[in-house]
Structure formats: C-alpha cells, structure tokens
Amino acid sequence: MKKRIAILGSTGSIGKQALDIVRAQPDKLAIEVLTAHHNADLLIRQAIEFQPNAVVIADDAYYSRVQQALQPMDIKVFAGRQSLLDIVEMSTIDMVLVALVGFSGLEPTYRAINARKAVALANKETLVAGGAMIMSKVRHSDLVFLPVDSEHSAIFQCLTGEHVPVSKILLTASGGPFFGKKRDELSGVKAAQALKHPNWNMGNKVTIDSATMMNKGLEMIEAHWLFNVAPERIEILVQPQSIVHSMVEFADGSIKGQMSLPDMHIPIQYAFSFPYRWETSYPKLSFAQCATLDFYEPDRQTFECINLAYKAIERGGNIPCAMNAANEVAVAAFLHDKISFLQIADVVACVMDKINYVNEASLDNFSHTDALSRLIAKEYIQSIERK
Ligand code: MN
C-alpha cells in the first residue's frame, strides 16, 4: 500500500525536496494533496506531474488560474487559508508533511493531529510557539509525529531503540555564513551576504535565522518539546562541516550521533520511511574524503539570539511564541533592508520585554500573542528606522 501524502507548502525548499523523494519512490509514496501560498505556476506544474486528489492555493487571488489549469485533470482546487486548514482532515490522507514557514504552520499541524493524521513536521516555529499545546496532544497517544528538521531527525534516530532518559542533547549548528565573525564585523552586513549559507540550501527565512543563529535557538526549543529534555541539558555545538547532525549522551557516558552529507532529502525521506530505511541514489558520505570534523562552542556575545531563546523557554508560557513572532517580523525587515543585521536581536528582545506573560497552552493564546507581538515588533522597527 502506498502512503498517501499531503504536502503543505509544496513549492518551498522542503516541499520540492519531498517531491523529489516521491518521484524516486513511486511504489511506496503517492501525493494526495499539494498546497502553496502564491506560487501558482509551480503548484500547477507539480499537480500535473503528481496528479493529487486536491490542491490548495492559499492566496485566493490565484484561484481561477490554478482552477482553469487543472480542471481538465479532475484535480480538485481550493483556495484560501481556511481551505488549507480544512484539507488536512481529508479521509484519504495518511501523512501530512508540514513544510510551511513560520507561525502559519501551527494551526494546520494542530488540525492534522486532531484529525489523527500522521504528521511529519518540517516547521520548527510550530513547536517554538505552541509546543506545550501540540505535545500534550501527541504524548500519551499513539499518534505518529516525526521531526524533519535535520538535527531533530538525527536526535530521533539516536533515540530509536533507547528506553532510558537522555543525559544531554548535543545540538549541532553549522555556525552559518558568519561563523568566526565578531559583532563589529557584522554591523554592516546585508541580506545578500547573510543568504549565502556555506553548507545548506534552504529557504530565505531559515537561512537568515542560521546567520543570526536564532535558528539554533528555535531548534533548542523544538528539541525541548519533541524529546521532553530540559533546556539546560541541550547544549549547542558548532560543527562547521554539517556532517554530524546532532548527538545524544546517555547516563553511561555513551554518545550516539547521526552523520551524513548535509542533504535534507535524507531526513525528509526518513520521516516518510520510518521505521524502515529506503535505498537512495544520493551521494553518500566518505569519511576518508571529509578529513576533519571540528567542534566549537557558539559565540553567545556575537550571536545573542541564542541567549534570547534560552531566556524565552525559561520564562515559558507565551514568551517563546512572542520571540518567534518578533523574529519573523525582524527577519522580513532585514530582508527588506529596513533594519541592520544586529538589530534583529534588538527587535526580539524588545518584544519579549513588552509582551504580557500568559501561561495558557491554547490556540487562542498563541494566535493572540503572535498578532500582538508582530504589532509591537513593527512599532519598534518604525521607531528605530526614524533615527
Ligand atoms: Mn535544522
């Protein structure tokens, strides 16, 4: 039986790589649903190739274009955010891959879990903002909930077969394009420089997060919720070659790690194939050729976002959600050249100071916090722009 997959965000970086896997595994996987935000042309091409049951274009301005293109093929076409939320409940879906960017992933993930779908989560912001709510549903249930983020896939692989508590998670980071740089060298950097990631080919949001190292802060919180490990037991370690994707230390001092070339196809496929592993034709790691594996402590004076993330999870409640919203707004402002690279952390710190603490693990709280945090972030950005 083929596993029938819904890909939320099929035109993004993860979505496209997920389709590579479906293309390579036609006897194991089939596409049931594809969704895109506004890349109508690519969505149409993907739908023609993969013949899903239905597609959703979230920006309804593109509805008629998609509808006209797919009408002859008997593919159902829906539009709008509400359709994106409703479609995950479709009875013919076996697994939902959430490959949306940012807070927008939280509600569809929540709906998929409530509909008892297997979920492969590539959207870390869902757990940063709403981890308490999502994991209270997932834990003590038999729901399949698999991480796609490469570090979390690595940790999950290290924990598979283990039935003991974790002593420590060693969460590895590439260090991003500015690894080794100090604050004064980063004050004038522009988006084009920050978008040049040394190892990984990813979307813009996560690439900027990788440059500020907020990505690792978000992933620390993601790991905390996924694996129920206290933040003080999650240690960030820079591994510039991006070969060791994370490690787990156990009580006896044994450390397990997962290694491969930096290629997102591997963790995406593992989420589809788990508990099995499938043969692939992608290049494989050669230890003789990779020569060295280096490890460093992160520079927390330069990359302040790491400290902000530990502070946010320590305070708990809606503070990580506020941090995430502020970061999304700040990254967009940096990409539009409205604030400097170092001001991204300032925006996040400002919002974390100003937002009211609410400790309630509900969608209403997180949606409200997200909206309010965005407003505070935008006001602050306007105030520093004027200076
Ligand atoms: Mn990652």
**Which tokens hold the place of 356?**
């009211």
How far apart CA 314 and CA 351 sit, in angstroms, is: 16
Q: 176 C-alpha to center of ligand 1: Å?
A: 11
Q: 75 C-alpha to center of ligand 1: Å?
A: 34
Q: 40 C-alpha to center of ligand 1: Å?
A: 27
Q: 48 C-alpha to center of ligand 1: Å?
A: 31
Q: Which fold has domain 316-387?
A: Rna Polymerase Sigma Factor; Chain: A (1.10.1740)
Q: 220 C-alpha to center of ligand 1: Å?
A: 10
pLDDT digits (tens, 9 = 90+) for 320-379: 999 999 999 999 999 999 999 999 999 999 999 999 999 999 999 999 999 999 999 999
Identical fold, 3-148 and 316-387: no
Q: 306 C-alpha to center of ligand 1: Å?
A: 14
Q: What share of the chain is helix, strand, coil (3-state, %, to 5)?
A: 50, 15, 35
Sorting pLDDT into bands at 50, 70 and 90, what band is 386? low
Q: Where are the domains of the chain?
A: 3-148, 150-262+282-303, 316-387
**pLDDT of the residue at 288:** 87
Q: 237 C-alpha to center of ligand 1: Å?
A: 13
Instruction: Say which CATH architecture domain 3-148 belongs to.
Output: 3-Layer(aba) Sandwich (3.40)
pLDDT digits (tens, 9 = 90+) for 124-157: 999 999 999 999 999 989 999 999 999 999 999 9
**201: pLDDT strictly greater than 80:** no
pLDDT digits (tens, 9 = 90+) for 48-87: 999 999 999 999 999 999 999 999 999 999 999 999 999 9
Mean pLDDT of 171-196: 94
How far apart CA 133 and CA 288 sit, in angstroms, is: 45
**200: pLDDT strictly greater than 90:** no
How far apart CA 250 and CA 227 sit, in angstroms, is: 14
Q: 291 C-alpha to center of ligand 1: Å?
A: 23
∠ CA(127), CA(299), CA(196), 5° rounding? 70
